[in-house]
Copies of this chain bind each other. A is one copy, B any other.
């Protein structure tokens, strides 16, 4: 069994959401696991000076069309939310807290958060909404709220975000496969080819 694929993302990134619906199946075809790692994309944008895509003249209009079309192309349900971008601190902190207890629950939680925002337009920036998502998965909503407010949770997410940037991340999704970085859901075919050939 080779190393897991690192999948760095922000819950606020539409292309990350699309990738989240595809990457595990792709990895499985090649006997790989995927390590999901949410981070704060704003910090990567600050480090690279990359602006928020939808705010760029011409490119922003195109990108909204491309989000929709890319989701249709991959057969993934998608609806651009009314509130965008979204500050996803609570969801990301909650993810790591869950992950350290139960990796499977954390994966289910991440899928639920992505879909709540990118399919159902829920405001995943609000603690109450994220607590509700957690509760529906059978998790303790009060313990969740306490955990994400703890200094350890804040530090953990900051550490993960710094690590992502130190590995060259400037946009999401950002994958690392055997040390090779791939940016964007549109690099999945190259990742697949990389896994098939052992690098090319």
Which A residues are within 8 Å of any B CB, using their own CB?
44, 47-51, 56-59, 61-62, 65-66, 69-70, 72-73, 165, 168-171, 181, 183-184, 186-187, 189-190, 193, 200
Contact = CB atoms under 8 A, between A and B. Distances in A.
Contact of A56 (B48, B59, B181): B48
Given A49-B56, A56-B48, A189-B189, A183 B73 contact: no
B193 A58 contact: no
A168 B165 CA distance: 31
A134 to B, nearest CB: 33
A171 to B, nearest CB: 7
Contact of A165 (B49, B58, B61, B187): B58
